[in-house]
Amino acid sequence: MQVLLRDQLSTEVGPLQWVNDQNLSGAGCADFPGVDGQSLTLDSWTSEGNLSDALWDRAVVIVAEITGEYGFGAPEVVMDRPADHEIRGTDPYGGGYQFGTARNTVLMVSTGCHTCPRDEPLQTRSRKAAQNIWLVPAIADSLSVILPSISKGQINSCDDQWTGRRDDHAI
């Protein structure tokens, strides 16, 4: 989904030069104490500079159409003033995205809380994510691109830290 968003935005309201400025990260599920779960924030992407006010409405339509295909609801306006705009959307599983432009243009996507299978290699988790078995369906395709790009390393539970390397160009 992130790849589609970046590509379509770059084509229609760009050119935008997207840079990965924050890698995949995870956190526990504070809303569900006692559950071995995790929410993930996918790589965050930034393009230097502001989208003009004249292009903002078209950018919102692009984001709404693509995210809607992945189960996200209509975007909610967080900020809408000259040269400063932000929308966010959520899916029924607690996943969400933020898209905005002010000094720079930013795109972030996160999953909702999901339980983690224990003692499974990361590549196994990746295949399950792609098959929507244990992960939020709307985000699974993005993770199926990210997780296979990890060439070394393994996560054995939600609490483990990932150690290895990732090919940033695969996203």
Q: Read off the CATH number of the domain in which 13 is found.
A: 3.30.2030.20
Q: For the chain, how many structural domains are there in total?
A: 1
pTM for the full model?
0.67
Helix 2-13 vs helix 137-146: angle between axes, to the nearest 10 degrees? 90
pLDDT band at 19 (very low <50, low <70, confident <90, very high): very high
Q: How far apart are CA 125 and CA 123, in angstroms?
A: 5
- Asked whether 71 and 138 are in contact (CB, 8 A), the reply is yes
Model pLDDT, residue 43: 82
* pLDDT classification of 118: cutoffs 50, 70, 90: low
Domain that holds residue 163: 2-170
**Contact at 8 Å (CB) between 73 and 91?**
yes
> Could you tell me which residues come within 8 angstroms of residue 155 by beta carbon, excluding any fewer than 6 positions away?
122, 125, 161, 162
What is the dihedral sign for C-alpha 127, 129, 133, 134?
Answer: positive
Residue with tokens 């244990």: 134
